[in-house]
A and B are shown apart, each in its own frame.
Chain A
């Protein structure tokens, strides 16, 4: 009887957890809030080093996952001392063009600043904002927009 009740509780908790997970990951399990967490558009600077991080609407705050990605980039850049990069900042199509240019610039710099706190010289990292001019996913859906709100680290040499 007691065992059964415990099992029931465990199941309830498990169910609740699943429900919560479903909510927070959203559509296709690729969104957390409105930040993209999937891998669909991601390219790699080297094996295990993703080239991009994603942002919430109108935000340039780095998420826990973004910081983990940038730390991998920092490690990679420390190992490849002669490599310089450009960080491209992008916005989705749901904002006015001029504000989005500024927002892209702020996102790219958020990534650059984080790399610099991990010892990468600012001289090795240039930034450029493209605002909403270069979407990776051209659909008009929340998922596409989340994939487009990004900063991408690109090798220059």
Chain B
């Protein structure tokens, strides 16, 4: 990952007014907020930087912001051809009544300057109903970061309008899949949350599965069949250095980081029995967390690190359990009809997302951490492996289609859905894709 200097330099006349427009994200939004995103005005002193053409940059940034907003289902970005003011003039002070005419309730304006290898950005969010400025921010970065600029602006506006942290300046790591179903080539791939900037991190020589970000983002843990030995690995995205985690005499799998990023929790299979272990990345000290003759796998920490939810078939069939992080106080939390797998604790701490299998159908759902309040969000032929957006509002998962003879018609794709159960969307990927993991905010 490219390190960037991110300088929030000025907060221009912050306005903290009450009674301004707000977007409620706690329920499905059937009436998305009409928002006008004006193209960012490009300062006349701007110069092209490498292959980045400055004259289009203001339009491109505003288009990415619009796409982000549209994908939330909470906002309705308005057509630009109805816009009533030039970007530079609107940015100084919009004629509120004119913008209200096109039924916009919020307006985003901004300007950019590319000079001396730097990209200076300034943007404002206007409440058109109250005729007030809601945010004004400016910052400087390298011009190659222009897409991230669009995501950061999106995050700030989302935050201001919903009262929740955004999730646009984030990335998704996943397994890219190509080739026929019985000879799949799987590679680790990483992309921006909106599908841009896809990069492949492995070559596809060996099978790789279940990559997961650590909270600090430079490290990823995943399962690799390197030399046909299935083991948990650690990969530094910046340096490309990979190393095997621990020295286990058998398969290790289902890895995840602890919330502080210091430990990896995973399953280790010995003589046919899988139990949960942790390894401290720095000291390499290994601890056994569960000791049961049944399968214990898919562990996931609570965000405070005090609890672990996991998948076990100790009752005879796959169910979800919660225990203290030292392995004590194991409690089964799923008692509904069907099988439950892939529990993942929400970053807000309030919910556990899971996969449920019942009568040959697969569901992605959420429930409270004691197992109550189960809500199934989506049903399909096959889908699993939910991963949380950093604000705990959206889940990304993968879905496979039913295949005919010789695996015909088989696809695997990433999808996202709000925890309200609304706004299900396919995420465009260059290849088939599975096992997504959402990063935390990059610019936190």
Contacts and interface: CB of A to CB of B under 8 A. Distances in A.
A140 B253 contact: no
Contacts, number: 107
Interface in A122-157: 127-130, 133-136, 138-140
B184 A93 contact: no
B274 A105 contact: yes
A157 to B, nearest CB: 15
B404 A101 contact: no
B207 interface: yes
A98 B230 contact: no
Interface stretch (A2-10, A13-21, A72-80, A107-115): A107-115
Contact of B410 (A103, A129, A138): A138
Interface in B354-411: 355, 357, 360, 381-382, 384-385, 400, 402-407, 410
A110 B272 CA distance: 7
A94 interface: yes
A93 B267 CA distance: 20
B122 interface: no
B341 interface: yes
B410 A101 contact: no
A139 B403 contact: yes
Main secondary structure of the interface of A (DSSP, over half): mixed
Interface residues of B, number: 46
A103 B400 contact: no
Interface string B153-188: 000000000000000000000000000111010000
A44 interface: no
Contacts of A139: 403-407
Nearest to A113: B272
B382 A93 contact: yes
A98 B267 contact: yes
B50 to A, nearest CB: 41
A98 B269 contact: no
A133 B184 contact: yes
A130 B318 CA distance: 19
Contacts of B313: 58, 99
B123 to A, nearest CB: 42
Interface residues of A, number: 30
A62 interface: no
Given A99-B311, A128-B251, A135-B182, A109 B271 contact: yes
A142 B404 CA distance: 12
Given A103-B295, A105-B251, A133-B207, A60 B272 contact: yes
Interface string B286-299: 00000000010110
B435 A97 contact: yes
Contacts of B311: 96, 98-99
A52 interface: no
B144 interface: no
Contact of B295 (A102, A110, A127, A138): A102
A108 B230 CA distance: 14
Nearest to A60: B272
A97 B385 contact: yes
B209 interface: yes
A97 B272 contact: no
Contacts of B242: none
Contacts of A93: 382, 400
Contacts of A138: 180-182, 403, 406-407, 410
Contacts of B342: 96, 98
Interface in B292-337: 295, 297-298, 311, 313, 317-318
18 contacts: A58-B313, A58-B339, A94-B360, A97-B384, A97-B435, A98-B341, A99-B295, A101-B209, A101-B253, A102-B295, A105-B274, A108-B272, A138-B182, A138-B403, A139-B403, A139-B404, A139-B407, A140-B381
Given A58-B318, A99-B341, A139-B407, 8 more contacts: A95-B341, A97-B210, A98-B297, A105-B272, A112-B272, A128-B251, A133-B184, A139-B405
